[in-house]
């Protein structure tokens, strides 16, 4: 972006204006995320900087909203903080149970999306794959179709997909289905929905990794006597692993951030963090939401760093950029 | 396995020992057939890898959408529970005045539905079209316990004179078949008149076309703002040395990875009347205490927050195209006497069009279906069509109407998706 030596004065002015515009846009991108962090330490229940905060008075800051994340929903939040208090928080605090739900649902939906998505990406990357374009379009569509439409369809499907609980199949599936034997209001239902939404991300990242993949490596392994399984685990897998992991992270984030499907198909037992935030924003908005937001921002910084490191490692492994 | 390898066959043929017409594999089988078998096997193997996921997506995604489409043209709330009067509607042409036979059928159906406790379902179905009629059905149902005495017309009009309302009969006729296009008609602000012709809905009920238009206009506006903000950033990132642009890229990717609800909350904090931006403006003296701007719960809030959320989807494809543009073209244009503006307009900008097209289409597709941000910061004037679908699903419980609106939106999105696939190719979709 260096200015050439032959630039006229007008061009110099424009160049610096342009830099200024870019800085302003970067501020627009980042400022909203940054502003949330100090405000979450606000001692007052306001969504703006108080005078005390601006003068860096320690009284203006507090951890009360983080504390309220723990105590909200507890039975005896005022009791001394001994082991039984923590047990109460672990069992009853709403944000903690939301976090547990988010992690459980995120974990299982990521596993489903990653395993099925990686297999499919391997198939889709083979030149002999029939109907490649059409199948790819179908598999990517959960990302393109508006989430409200997907959630509406899933609501109809889940409330009509029921198994009679008196049959053998019904008894076998009883632990994962709701009392009425349906998929609605169950963990299984939310996991399946989130896996579907995460699949396009796995497909995209893994097929992108496979574009640079040298198929002759597989043939070399086969010619040296490795069976297809050994070839996959010893040759293919280590090379595409960075792509698989970043796909899995995308799928996890998709599930971890998803609220519309949860609103439509989950029951009161499957309240996730976004669902709890949705309640908080729509009903009793308090800076506690900002405390959650801050924790989530830290979480996304960690994820972004991981994905970025993986991407670089993947490119180095596949020899796309010199180390 | 080695015998099936097409390469082996090529070697056999290339030695020239066999005439070209009768190429065979090493074990003497015709080459063409061996190749066909081998490639069919390879195709099947590739397909088997994809099959589990394809089946999964068909079951958890395509079938539910299909069910939703079915629901948009099928509603048997009236037809299934009011068989006799539905039959009367089927036997008479549209516009027939309800006679004694019609009232007899209606009375019998109302009595039966009241006993089967399905009268509420029937009332709900008619209530979609004539608000306030659910109670008419349930109240008449209570009176129908003992059954009506003939003459039925007088008996029903005695129970409630609304039964003589011809509009009610017209609506019941429309609802008397389970498969119906009425919900689609309603979704484009149309209805049927007494003779069954398609006419505009009453003015106070015309909301959906306006909402579709608003969704289109706001999505176009958001696409434009993301372009205006995204283009300079993508250009800067593409022309900086790799090391520095990677650092700055983090500023683009961090919002991309941050939770949608976090970003929406952040904008609510910034934009509200007692929020950070208004405080800053008051402090700077740009506005006074009374003149605080209302930037939230209206279209401005929706546009600002959605621009922020969708901006990375514009920057990333633009960036990846701009990276590949050779800077010497612009230099050549300058050396041939073009001003920097002309060089940009005639040489650089046309080369960015593939990235621009990809980014704009992606942003537009995502914007037309947006739900969360308009629901939280949009207020009533910033609601989009998705919010109307959600309202019918969760508040009015008119699921067929929600499904019909969703089907229209889905149709639009799929057309755009197809265009995207033709122009850009879904393989080229990039994430971070």
* pLDDT tens figures, B192-210: 777 777 888 887 778 899 9
Closest CA to B139 of B157, B119, B153: B119
Closest CA to B402 of B413, B383, B389, B415: B389
Give the per-residue pLDDT at A160.
Answer: 84
B168-174, Cβ contacts within 8 angstroms, sequence gap of 24 or more:
B168/B126, B168/B130, B168/B133, B169/B98, B169/B102, B170/B194, B171/B126, B171/B129, B171/B130, B172/B78, B172/B82, B172/B85, B172/B89, B172/B126, B173/B89, B173/B94, B174/B129
Give the per-residue pLDDT at A53.
Answer: 79
Domain CATH number, residue A114:
1.10.3720.10
Q: A49–B276: do the CB atoms touch at under 8 Å? A: yes
* Number of neighbours of residue A173 by Cβ within 10 angstroms: 16
Q: B252–A29: do the CB atoms touch at under 8 Å? A: yes
Instruction: Look up residue B54 and give its two tokens.
Output: 């394809």
For residue B200, what are the β-bridge partners? Answer: B190
Residue A80 lies in a domain: no
Which residues 6+ apart lie within 8 Å of A252 measured at CB? A106, A107, A109, A110, A198
8-state DSSP, B164: G
Going residue by residue through chain A, which has 323 residues, state the pLDDT in tens, using 9 for 90 and above: 567 777 788 888 988 999 999 999 999 999 999 988 988 888 888 777 877 778 788 888 888 888 888 888 777 777 777 888 888 888 888 899 999 999 999 999 999 999 999 999 999 988 888 888 899 999 999 999 999 999 999 999 988 878 777 777 777 777 777 777 788 888 999 999 999 999 999 999 898 888 878 888 888 998 999 998 899 888 888 888 888 998 999 999 999 999 999 999 988 888 999 999 998 888 766 788 889 999 999 998 998 888 888 878 777 776 655 43
Residue A115 lies in a domain: yes
A-chain CB neighbours of B414 within 8 Å are 145
Where in chain B do CATH 1.10.3720.10 domains reside? 208-428
Chain A residue closest in CA terms to B236: A1
Residue A74's SS3 state is coil
Distance of CA B228 to the CA centre of its chain: 25
Give the per-residue pLDDT at A121.
Answer: 92
Q: Which of A26, A160, A277 sits opposite B251 (nearest CB)?
A: A26
Residue A156 lies in a domain: yes
Residue A13 lies in a domain: no
Give the per-residue pLDDT at B429.
Answer: 72
Q: Please answer whether residues B303 and B218 qualify as being in contact, where contact means their C-beta atoms are separated by less than 8 angstroms.
A: yes
Quote the CA–CA distance of B186 and B59 in Å, as a whole number: 30
Q: Which of A7, A26, A46, A146 should one mutate to test binding to chain B, selecting the residue with the greatest count of B CBs within 10 A? A: A146
Q: Please answer whether residues B2 and B34 qualify as being in contact, where contact means their C-beta atoms are separated by less than 8 angstroms.
A: no
B-chain CB neighbours of A277 within 8 Å are 261, 265
H-type alpha helices, A181-287: 187-211, 216-223, 228-231, 237-256, 260-265, 273-282
Give the per-residue pLDDT at A76.
Answer: 77
For B208-428, CATH gives 1.10.3720.10
Cα distances (angstroms) measured from residue A256 to each of A92, A260, B375: 21, 12, 20
Chain A residue closest in CA terms to B245: A1
Q: B399–A39: do the CB atoms touch at under 8 Å? A: no
8-state DSSP, B395: T
Q: Work out how many CB contacts closer than 8 A connect A with B.
A: 262
Quote the CA–CA distance of A197 and A213 in Å, as a whole number: 26
Q: Which of B259, B297, B430 should one mutate to test binding to chain A, selecting the residue with the greatest count of A CBs within 10 A? A: B259
Give the per-residue pLDDT at B4.
Answer: 44
- The answer to whether residue B279 neighbours chain A at the CB level (below 8 Å) is yes
Q: A274–B261: do the CB atoms touch at under 8 Å? A: yes
| Cα of B229 to nearest chain A Cα, Å | 7
Q: Please answer whether residues A285 and B264 qualify as being in contact, where contact means their C-beta atoms are separated by less than 8 angstroms.
A: no
Q: Which residues of chain B have pLDDT under 70?
A: 1-21, 430-432
ipTM over 0.90: no
Q: Where are the beta strands (DSSP E) in B151-273?
A: 190-192, 198-200
Residue A37 lies in a domain: no
Burial track B247-283 (b if 16+ CB lie within 10 A, e otherwise): eebebbbbbbbbbbbbbbbbbbbbbbeebbbbbeeee
Burial track B291-324 (b if 16+ CB lie within 10 A, e otherwise): ebeebbbbbbbbbbbbbbbbbbbbbbbbbbbbee
Chain B residue closest in CA terms to A19: B236
- The answer to whether residue B266 neighbours chain A at the CB level (below 8 Å) is yes
Residue A42 lies in a domain: no
Residue B198's SS3 state is strand
Give the per-residue pLDDT at A51.
Answer: 78
Residue A180 lies in a domain: yes
Q: Which of B53, B266, B410 sits opposite A139 (nearest CB)?
A: B53
Q: Please answer whether residues B101 and B154 qualify as being in contact, where contact means their C-beta atoms are separated by less than 8 angstroms.
A: no
Cα distances (angstroms) measured from residue B214 to each of A136, B191, B222: 32, 22, 12
Quote the CA–CA distance of B78 and B122 in Å, as a whole number: 5
| Cα of B215 to nearest chain A Cα, Å | 13
| Owning domain of residue A308 | 95-317
Q: A36–B46: do the CB atoms touch at under 8 Å? A: no
Query: What domain count does chain A have?
Result: 1
Quote the CA–CA distance of B153 and B364 in Å, as a whole number: 56
């Amino acid at each position: 972006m260096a200015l050439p030596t032959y630039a006229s004065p007008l061009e110099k002015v424009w160049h610096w204006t342009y830099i200024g515009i870019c800085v302003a846009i970067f501020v627009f991108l980042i400022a909203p995320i940054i502003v949330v962090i100090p405000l979450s330490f606000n001692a007052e229940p306001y969504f703006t900087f108080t005078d005390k905060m601006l003068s860096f008075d320690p009284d203006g800051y507090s951890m009360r909203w983080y504390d309220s994340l723990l105590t909200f929903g507890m039975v005896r939040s005022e009791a001394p903080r001994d082991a039984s208090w923590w047990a109460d928080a672990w069992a009853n605090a709403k944000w903690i149970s939301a976090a547990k739900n988010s992690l459980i649902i995120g974990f299982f939906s990521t596993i489903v999306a990653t395993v099925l998505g990686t297999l499919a990406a391997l198939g889709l990357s083979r030149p002999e794959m029939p109907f490649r374009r059409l199948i790819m379009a179908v598999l990517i569509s959960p990302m393109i179709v508006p989430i409200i439409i997907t959630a509406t369809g899933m609501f109809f499907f889940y409330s009509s997909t029921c198994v009679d609980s008196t049959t053998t199949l019904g008894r076998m599936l009883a632990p994962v289905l709701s009392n009425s034997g349906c998929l609605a209001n169950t963990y299984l239902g939310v996991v399946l929905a989130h896996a579907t939404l995460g699949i396009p991300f796995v497909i995209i990242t893994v097929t992108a990794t496979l574009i640079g993949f040298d198929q002759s490596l597989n043939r070399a392994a086969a010619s040296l006597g490795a069976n297809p399984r050994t070839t996959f685990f010893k040759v293919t897998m280590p090379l595409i692993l960075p792509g698989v992991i970043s796909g899995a992270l995308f799928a996890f984030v998709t599930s971890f951030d998803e609220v519309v499907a949860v609103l439509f198909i989950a029951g009161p037992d499957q309240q996730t963090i976004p669902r709890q935030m949705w309640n908080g924003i729509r009903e009793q908005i308090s800076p506690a939401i900002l405390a959650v937001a801050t924790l989530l921002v830290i979480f996304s910084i960690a994820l972004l760093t991981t994905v970025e490191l993986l991407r670089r490692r993947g490119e180095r492994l596949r020899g796309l950029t010199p180390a | 396995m080695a015998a099936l390898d097409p390469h082996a066959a090529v070697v056999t043929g290339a030695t020239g020992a066999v005439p070209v017409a009768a190429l065979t594999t090493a074990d003497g089988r015709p080459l063409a057939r061996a190749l066909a078998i081998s490639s069919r096997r390879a195709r099947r193997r590739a397909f088997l890898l994809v099959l589990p996921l394809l089946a999964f997506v068909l079951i958890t995604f395509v079938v539910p959408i299909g069910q939703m489409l079915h629901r948009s043209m099928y509603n048997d709330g009236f037809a299934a529970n009011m068989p006799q009067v539905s039959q009367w509607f089927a036997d008479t042409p549209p516009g027939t005045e309800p006679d004694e036979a019609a009232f007899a059928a209606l009375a019998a159906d109302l009595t039966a539905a009241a006993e089967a406790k399905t009268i509420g379902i029937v009332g709900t179905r008619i209530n979609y079209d004539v608000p306030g009629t659910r109670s008419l059905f349930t109240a008449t149902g209570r009176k129908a316990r003992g059954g009506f005495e003939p003459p039925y017309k007088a008996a029903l009009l005695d129970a409630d004179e609304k039964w003589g309302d011809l509009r009610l009969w017209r609506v019941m006729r429309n609802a008397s078949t389970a498969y119906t296009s009425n919900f689609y008609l309603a979704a484009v602000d149309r209805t049927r008149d007494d003779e069954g012709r398609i006419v505009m809905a009453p003015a106070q009920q015309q909301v959906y076309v306006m909402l579709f238009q608003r969704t289109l206009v706001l999505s176009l506006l958001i696409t434009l703002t993301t372009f205006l903000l995204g283009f300079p950033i993508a250009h800067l990132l593409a022309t900086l040395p790799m090391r520095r642009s990677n650092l700055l890229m983090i500023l683009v990717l961090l919002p991309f990875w941050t939770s949608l609800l976090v970003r929406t909350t952040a904008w609510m904090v910034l934009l509200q009347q007692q929020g950070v931006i208004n405080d800053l403006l008051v402090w700077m003296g740009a506005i006074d205490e009374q003149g605080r701007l209302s930037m939230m719960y209206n279209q401005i809030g929706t546009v600002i927050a959605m621009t922020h959320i969708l901006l990375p989807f514009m920057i990333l494809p633009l960036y990846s195209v701009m990276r590949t543009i050779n800077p010497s073209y612009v230099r050549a244009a300058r050396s041939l006497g073009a001003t920097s503006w002309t060089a940009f307009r005639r040489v650089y900008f046309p080369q960015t069009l593939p990235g621009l097209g990809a980014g704009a289409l992606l942003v537009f597709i995502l914007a037309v279906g947006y739900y969360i941000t308009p629901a939280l910061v949009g207020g009533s004037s910033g609601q989009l069509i998705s919010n109307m679908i959600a309202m019918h699903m969760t508040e009015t419980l008119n699921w067929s109407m929600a499904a019909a609106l969703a089907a229209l939106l889905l149709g639009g999105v799929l057309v755009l998706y197809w265009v995207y696939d033709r122009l850009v190719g879904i393989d080229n979709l990039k994430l971070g």
